[in-house]
Amino acid sequence: MPIVERLRKKFRELYGQEPIVVAAPGRVNLIGEHTDYNEGFVLPGAVDKRMYIAIASVAEPAITIYANQFKESYTFNPTEELQPVTGWMNYLLGVTHHIKAAGKTIGGAQVLIDGDIPVGAGMSSSAALCSAYGFALNELFSLGLTRMELAFIGQKTEHTFVGVKCGIMDQFASLHGKRGHVMKLDCRNLEYEYIPFEFPDHKIVLVNSMVSHSLAGSEYNVRRQQCEEGVGILKKSYPAINSLRDVSLEMLQEHHHELTPVVYDRCWYVVTEKDRLLNGCEALKRGDLQAFGKLMIATHNGLSKQYAVSCTQLDFLAERAGYIEGVMGSRMMGGGFGGCTINIVQTEAVEAFTHQIQRSFETLFQVTPEVYVTQIEDGTHVVVGDEVYH
Ligand code: GLA
């Protein structure tokens, strides 16, 4: 049974009423990694894997949630002061808290969650959960929040309830996605441009390293601090700079000796990634996937060596992909320390690619990596009827 139909049926069984259903996608990011919190550009797209929230209101001040993936329920009073807890419900508590902090009133609700975004695979299932739930509350209680405001509420939830000082890319992408397009987002002023990604002869294929990145929050925050440390030191010579966005390679090289080798490497990666993204956008607009693929490989090398957010499995997947016919480019994607590689593969080569990468990974790591052939789809939306997704 298609997922939305199953969700509505389950909701009726659990709560005896008809829900509103909201779908929020996970994301891929073509290039521009670890640039969002450095006020750089990113190039994400929403994908055909989603978190779903079914929701209906009730008179009493209680929000009851059933998470179908975990077969667990949780109830809280939205009018009380909410504190972080551990577990999936933490995201919903955080979003509720931050919607209230924005001056909005939330009543009681019955909620059912389901989804098909692999958790811990670097496809932003948590951002999608926050987007789906925030969007659903916004619809149900006519709160009048914009998509951008909902994205910030999701980001604040990560910062304050989860403890990951993430950028805005994941939440933005889940809420603003557009079928057949990636988004060139300027994380400094939040202006964005939709760029068509319509290459019928190519697919975006994710390969899951099967290393869950969920424990990587603290290292992620360390990278952010290292970038800030670099900016703090360079600011003494260039008072006008506010972030690595304002730093050129020349400026960085000139002050090499003032930074520790580690901080220099981190800054070097971010500064060079800015240019790769701009060149990548030009390559896409020209339809030059060959050039784009080369940039992806350079990004992977920077993330692995200078930024040090890769792992053995991801390095293996990215390198191995380079030897398989029909692969334009491959690199680790997202925060790192696990999760997926993103690969651009000729459509006709996808089957052989999948087979080869899975077999060689199995030989080395004794586990079969999951492979997801993705489509770029629309962002968070209310699902009409039993809309069937492929
Ligand atoms: C995670 C974060 C994003 C971004 C990426 C790396 O997905 O949530 O904000 O920093 O890592 O590009």
The pLDDT value recorded for residue 212 is 87
Three-state secondary-structure class, residue 125: helix
Three-state secondary-structure class, residue 31: coil
Structure tokens given for 286? 């020209």
The helix (run of H) or strand (run of E) holding residue 329 is: strand 327-332
- pLDDT higher at 322 or 388: 322
Say yes or no: CB of residue 32 within 6 Å of ligand 1.
Answer: no
CA distance 219 to 138: 33
Classify residue 312 as exposed, middle or buried by CB count within 10 Å of its CB (0-12, 13-18, 19+). exposed
Q: Calculate mean pLDDT across residues 333-344.
A: 96
Q: To which residue do tokens 């809309």 refer?
A: 387
CB distance 296 to 344 below 8 Å: yes
CA distances from 246 to 229, 238, 250, 259, 274 (A): 14, 10, 12, 17, 10
What are the tens digits of pLDDT across the range 242-286?
Answer: 999 999 999 999 999 999 999 999 999 999 999 999 999 999 999
Residue of 166, 269, 299, 332 to test ligand 1 pocket, by largest number of atoms within 8 Å of CB: 166
Nearest of 98, 3, 14 to residue 52 by alpha carbon? 3
| DSSP letter, residue 322 | T
Structure tokens given for 322? 């380079």
Looking at ligand 1, which residue's alpha carbon is closest to its atom 9? 167
Say yes or no: CB of residue 44 within 6 Å of ligand 1.
Answer: no
Strands 63-67 and 108-115: parallel
**271 C-alpha vs ligand 1 centroid, how far in Å?**
16
Amino acid at 253: Q
What are the tens digits of pLDDT across the range 134-148?
Answer: 999 999 999 999 999
What residues have CB less than 8 Å from 94, skipping those under 6 apart? 82, 84, 130, 156, 157, 158, 160, 161, 162
CA distance 13 to 21: 15
pLDDT at 390 over 50: no
pLDDT at 387 over 90: no
CATH of 203-374, one of 3.30.70.890, 2.40.50.100, 3.20.20.210, 3.30.70.20: 3.30.70.890
CA distance 108 to 75: 10
pLDDT at 213 over 90: no
Strands 340-346 and 327-332: antiparallel
The pLDDT value recorded for residue 389 is 57
C-alpha atoms less than 13 angstroms from C-alpha of 144 in its C-beta half-sphere: 4
Q: Are domains 3-197+377-382 and 203-374 of this chain identical in fold? A: no
pLDDT at 38 over 80: yes
CA distance 20 to 55: 5
> Exposure string (b/e) for 24-56, b if CB count within 10 Å is 16 or more?
bbbbbbbbbbbbbbbbbbbbbbbbbbbbbbbbb
Say yes or no: CB of residue 166 within 6 Å of ligand 1.
Answer: yes
Backbone phi and psi for residue 11, each to the nearest 5 degrees, phi listed first: -65, -45
**Cross-strand bridge partners of residue 204:** 344, 374
Q: Calculate mean pLDDT across residues 115-132.
A: 95
**386 C-alpha vs ligand 1 centroid, how far in Å?**
32
In this structure, CATH architecture of domain 3-197+377-382: 2-Layer Sandwich (3.30)
- Mean pLDDT, the chain, integer: 96
The helix (run of H) or strand (run of E) holding residue 284 is: helix 261-286
* Domain coordinates in residue numbering, the chain: 3-197+377-382, 203-374
Say yes or no: CB of residue 167 within 6 Å of ligand 1.
Answer: yes
Active site residues: 170
With the CA atoms of 225, 230, 236 and 240 taken in that order, what torsion angle do they form, in degrees rounded to the nearest 10?
-90
Residue of 169, 206, 244 to test ligand 1 pocket, by largest number of atoms within 8 Å of CB: 169
User: For a pLDDT cut of 90, what percent of the chain falls above it?
Assistant: 95
CA distance 189 to 91: 26
User: Which atom, in ligand 1's list, is nearest to the CA of 36?
Assistant: 10
Say yes or no: CB of residue 335 within 6 Å of ligand 1.
Answer: yes
Say yes or no: CB of residue 33 within 6 Å of ligand 1.
Answer: yes
| DSSP letter, residue 258 | G
| DSSP letter, residue 81 | P
**56 C-alpha vs ligand 1 centroid, how far in Å?**
32
Say yes or no: CB of residue 334 within 6 Å of ligand 1.
Answer: yes
CB distance 21 to 4 below 8 Å: yes
The pLDDT value recorded for residue 309 is 97
User: Which atom, in ligand 1's list, is nearest to the CA of 35?
Assistant: 12
pLDDT at 160 over 90: yes
What are the tens digits of pLDDT across the range 56-100?
Answer: 999 999 999 999 999 999 999 999 999 999 999 999 999 999 999
pLDDT at 386 over 80: no
The pLDDT value recorded for residue 228 is 98
Classify residue 222 as exposed, middle or buried by CB count within 10 Å of its CB (0-12, 13-18, 19+). middle
The pLDDT value recorded for residue 1 is 82
Nearest of 275, 273, 238 to residue 254 by alpha carbon? 238
